[in-house]
Amino acid sequence: MDTPLTRDDAARPQGPEVQPPTKTMTWRRTIFSWLRTLLIGYLGIVLLMMLFENWLMYPATRDMQPPPCAEVEDVHLTCANGTRIHAWWLPCANSKSTLLYLHGNGGNLTWRGGSIMKLRDRLDVSVLIVDYPGYGRSEGRPSEQGCYETADAGYTWLVEKQGVKPADLLIYGDSLGGGVAVDLASRRPHRALVLIRTFTSAPDVGAGVFPWLPVRWMMRNRFASIEKIQQCGSPVFAAHGDVDDVIPFALGKALFEAAPEPKHFHLMPGARHNDALPDAMFVALKSFLAKHAP
């Protein structure tokens, strides 16, 4: 005969007894929760970096500075895709060569007024400096392909409108502009390629800045100079500071070492990335160009 349930027995849950979680189980859950939160946060950072890559890569500005001298002429070029590009033309009366200046990723061409004056006066060259899409008065938005098309537009204007012979044309790239210059020099004939504080590839620079991110997989902007430099069949001059705080010295030296002969590397002791180029660099560049005159 069954024993009748008491009121307390009826209130007590029937079935297997539930064991309280142990300390080990609690720690495992806590660690798993933290790992899940970290993974979600990490993937979120990766996604944001991918979405804002161009914003980080091209800190362009529309703010214009005045020309460095009265001889500077405004020039408007048109890329192959129809984008209107702004440029400055600084002629030199005694010019034996013409230099196409491809600048770095910050500001716009008007920030380089002093640089183009030094190049003209120290090397006796005429200078055309172009702004990439989205910079200064140039239309469009910046991109790797847009930079390449801008360089092509500048080259075409010099050869077709100014009558510059490719054998008299110097391609000059500073920082990000080095990636643009190598691409152009790998496809178009020229007198010499000048690379100032530049890199092997954009992902190599990014990997150094963000070593905890899969930058080489993430980045859409490549500027793979290390893969193109062998196609540059003219003399190569490179210069880099040994304490560069933006583009490591090792990247500039590695790109130079991959370049074909004839070539020359100029070390700028104690020079950081945004320091003014020392007089010794201009002396070395002028000597190199004289040695390898066409």
Contact yes or no for 216/224 (Cβ under 8 A)? no
- Let me know the angle formed at the C-alpha of 124 by 123 and 128, rounded to the nearest 5 degrees: 90
Task: Give Cα 248 to chain centroid, integer Å.
Answer: 13
Active site residues: 175, 244, 273
Measured CA to CA in angstroms, residue 147 lies from 183, 217, 233 at distances of 10, 22, 21
pLDDT at 5: 47
Alpha carbon distance 89, 107 (integer Å): 18
The structure tokens 């130079």 sit at: 256
* Residue with the larger pLDDT of the pair 241 and 48: 241
Q: Is residue 290 very low, low, confident or very high in pLDDT (cuts 50, 70, 90)? A: very high
Nearest to 233 by CA among 190, 198, 177: 190
Which value, in Å, is the radius of gyration of the alpha carbons in the chain? 29
Q: Is the dihedral of CA 213, 217, 219, 225 positive or negative?
A: positive
Q: Is residue 293 very low, low, confident or very high in pLDDT (cuts 50, 70, 90)? A: confident
- The helix (run of H) or strand (run of E) holding residue 202 is helix 202-209
Contact yes or no for 175/202 (Cβ under 8 A)? no
Q: What one-letter code names the amino acid at 130?
A: V
Alpha carbon distance 246, 196 (integer Å): 13
How is residue 74 written in tokens?
A: 């405004």
Measured CA to CA in angstroms, residue 265 lies from 2, 189, 268 at distances of 100, 22, 10
Alpha carbon distance 101, 130 (integer Å): 7
Q: Is residue 20 very low, low, confident or very high in pLDDT (cuts 50, 70, 90)? A: low
Q: Is residue 29 very low, low, confident or very high in pLDDT (cuts 50, 70, 90)? A: confident
Q: Is residue 256 very low, low, confident or very high in pLDDT (cuts 50, 70, 90)? A: very high
pLDDT at 15: 52
Q: Is residue 2 very low, low, confident or very high in pLDDT (cuts 50, 70, 90)? A: very low
Q: Look at 13-17, 30-34, 38-42 and tell me which has the smallest mean pLDDT.
A: 13-17
The crossing angle, in degrees rounded to 10, of helices 279-291 and 113-123 is: 50
